[in-house]
Amino acid sequence: MSSRDNRVKSYKNQGKDTDELRRRRTEVTVDLRKSKREDALSKRRNGGPLSPLSDNVPEERLMSLEEIRAGVLCDGDPALQFKCVQATRKILSKANSPPIDKFISMKDVLHKLVECLSKEHNTKLQFEAAWALTNIASGTSAHTQAVLEAGAVPHFVSLMSSPDEQVCEQAVWGLGNIAGDGPPMRDFVVSNGILKPLIRLAGEEHRSVAFLRNITWVISNLCRNKDPYPPLEVTRLCMPVLARLVHHTDDQVLTDACWALSYISDGSDERIQWVVEAGVVPRLLFHMSQSVSKILTPALRTIGNIVTGNDMQTDTVIEAGGLPALANLLRHEKMTTVKEAAWAVSNITAGNEGQIQKVIDHGILPLIVHVLVEVSDARNRHRHGEFKAQKEAMWAVSNLTSCGAKAQTLAFLQTGGLKPLCDLLNAKDDMMVGTVLDSINNILDAAQSIGEVEKVGEVIEECGGLDKIEALQSHANDKIYDKALKIIQNYFSEVR
């Protein structure tokens, strides 16, 4: 059973309330594409304008590791020590395969680099040492752990108050790499007092845009991960800053601010409420209407998280214009975006009848059906994300037939969606097949209530749905067999 199946294996069972019907993301449901994106951005190596990445310093001109080690440890010759610390930074800034393992194996060098952070009289040395340690921390968890164990974190936090902007920014960068390694490192950085100076720096208008990008990225790393969630003080102190940053004009600042909001809102109604009360929903919807996909994606993810919440939280999105925004994204050229938009719609159709009616009134049902039809017709083209988009569209229909009034369920019939829904009975996914059978049963029940069951039954038969349902009576999955048998007995016993 897939991770998504685990998340929704009991989805739509009778007796469940609206909150249970909405589907929240968990760690295991995040798809590979998202995981790769977040792993890549949780740590950043500083190549920098003075490094071999950009100035093409030939490798042979760099000092040997033994020469560097001896020079770094030479407190009696400040000029030589600076030269060797700088050489360390340059080697660790290499574009390909920097020798981080060799440096962390030289623990005396690592400790000396940390010691250099405290030399306030020599900000250039502080900067080079901070840069080198930042790049070590950009590596694996073992690399990051080595920097932490060498005692860099409290020094980095202290340097956030350095009058030298380069030193200050490099310290922030280093802390961001450490916090991005995972919950234990993140919480260690928080416990060492990063929050107050970071919030102070974020509010200083004279800071450069490049520095603000780093600050926002570090905030997003502090908000990341949910096993466990970050300490409560992280959200409490960062939310006002994020509410301001989503109005910035720089794309990278906006991207990381929106990702931070998506991390915060990925959880309980209480966490969602923090985002709602910050007043950012209208701005997130604005970003969803723009063409910058790297901003659109986390903004949409955050809105999708909010509508997994309670009815009042979902209404906040609807009243701010969320449905037209989602309708627009259901037409998006990228299927991954269509999938996210359909997921959000599926959680709105898992709400109350008033919310479902607004989905209908905004003309979203035909767009959902279009996703089913388009994906079905495109199967042989293997478009990235098509099956996931189809699956979320299916959930939007299923939720409507389960949570909506009978008249709302019948509104789905007017979209011509019955055939593509029946086509999903050929899916290899047992959860999907079972859910589609539930939807068909709900549609037939609604039709029966107005004396139209024979008419709807004919549509199902003519599109090949009845043959598929009958075939499912021999399915290996007992639940699917039972659902198919129930439909045949209740609605088609006189047909065959």
How far apart CA 49 and CA 389 sit, in angstroms, is 42
Q: DSSP states of 254-317 as a string?
A: HHHHHHHHHHHHSS-HHHHHHHHHTT-HHHHHHHHTSS-HHHHHHHHHHHHHHTTS-HHHHHHH
**Structure-block tokens of residue 299:** 């903004």
The distance between the two most distant Cα atoms of the chain, rounded to a whole number of Å, is 99
Q: Which of 317, 312, 311 is nearest to 299 (CA)?
A: 317
279, two tokens: 């007043």
Q: Which two tokens stand for residue 109?
A: 């060098």
% the chain with pLDDT above 70: 86
CB-CB contact of 306 with 265 (8 Å): yes
Identify the pLDDT of residue 42.
79
Q: 237-268 burial, b if ≥16 CB within 10 A, otherwise e?
A: bbbebbbebbeeeeebbbbbbbbbbbbbbbbe
Residue 61 DSSP class: G
- 116 vs 75: CA distance, rounded Å: 10
Q: What are phi and psi of 225, to 5 degrees?
A: 70, 145
- Residue pair 475/485 in contact (Cβ under 8 Å)? The answer is no
Rounded distance between C-alpha atoms, residue 264 and residue 248, angstroms:
19
DSSP 8-state code for residue 239: H
Query: Token pair for residue 280?
Result: 């950012």
CA of 140: how far to CAs of 111, 155, 157, 177, 350, in Å? 19, 21, 22, 10, 41
Quote the pLDDT of residue 377.
52
Whose tokens are 């301001």? That residue is: 244
- pLDDT for 308: 97
Dist CA 287 CA 445 (whole Å): 41
What single letter denotes the amino acid at residue 467?
D
* C-alpha distance from residue 194 to each of 51, 174, 176, 219, 358 (Å): 28, 12, 10, 10, 44
CATH fit for domain 44-152, picks 3.20.20.70, 1.25.10.10, 3.30.565.10, 3.40.640.10: 1.25.10.10
The encoded tokens of residue 75 equal 């407190």
Question: Which amino acid is located at 324 in the chain?
Answer: P
CA proximity to 246, closest of 236, 261, 267 = 261
Question: What does the pLDDT read at residue 95?
Answer: 74
The closest of 224, 217, 158, 227 to 192, measured between CA atoms, is 158
Alpha helices in 320-417 (DSSP H): 322-329, 335-348, 353-361, 364-377, 386-403, 406-413
* pLDDT at position 10: 28
Distance of alpha carbon 426 from alpha carbon 432, whole angstroms: 10
Rg (Cα) of the chain, in Å, rounded?
28
User: In which residue ranges of the chain is pLDDT below 70?
Assistant: 1-21, 23-41, 48-62, 374-385, 495-496
